[in-house]
Copies of this chain bind each other. A is one copy, B any other.
């Protein structure tokens, strides 16, 4: 089956996405050229345009795809019960979803500036939905009297920043496994909003 050239749409397509994600995470969107992506994929630059209309769409697809995956996974999680249980579920979900996706997290945080305005608005709306899921939990906890935060919005942003920051420094080959990390972060999150 191996051909030196010809049709490879089934394998080249995913490879373009994967390669672009890795290179953009490492060097930044503006610093990565289509030639560079093509070279790592193993095709010529022109061939990339069979898979994306332009460079901007490539970035948008990566970021939108990540957010869609995130919101889908969160919905599947279906966090039930009292606020404390839901907060624990959210914390664990966030860590387990994001830790194995450090490149996506990096790109989604760093490259917002490079999205065209219309694309930015779409991604930003999805990010806001995710934040709102956490804020709902904090509000419920306030109502139950188990949480005490003077501002649920600020607390939401603080917790998400704390959790997401993890993806910026954690390396799976370090001294701490994902379970240990989860336990440490859950302890801090829980206490930070405790009544």
Contact = CB atoms under 8 A, between A and B. Distances in A.
A26 B166 contact: no
A165 B161 contact: yes
A176 interface: yes
Contact of A187 (B30, B150, B183): B150
Question: What number of copies of this chain does the assembly contain?
Answer: 2
Interface stretch (A49-57, A78-86, A151-159): A151-159
Given A28-B113, A188-B192, A191-B191, A157 B150 contact: no
A184 interface: yes
Given A30-B30, A31-B114, A185 B158 contact: yes
B150 A184 contact: yes
5 contacts: A110-B110, A158-B165, A158-B166, A162-B165, A165-B165
Given A28-B28, A158-B162, A191-B193, 5 more contacts: A28-B29, A110-B110, A151-B176, A158-B165, A165-B165
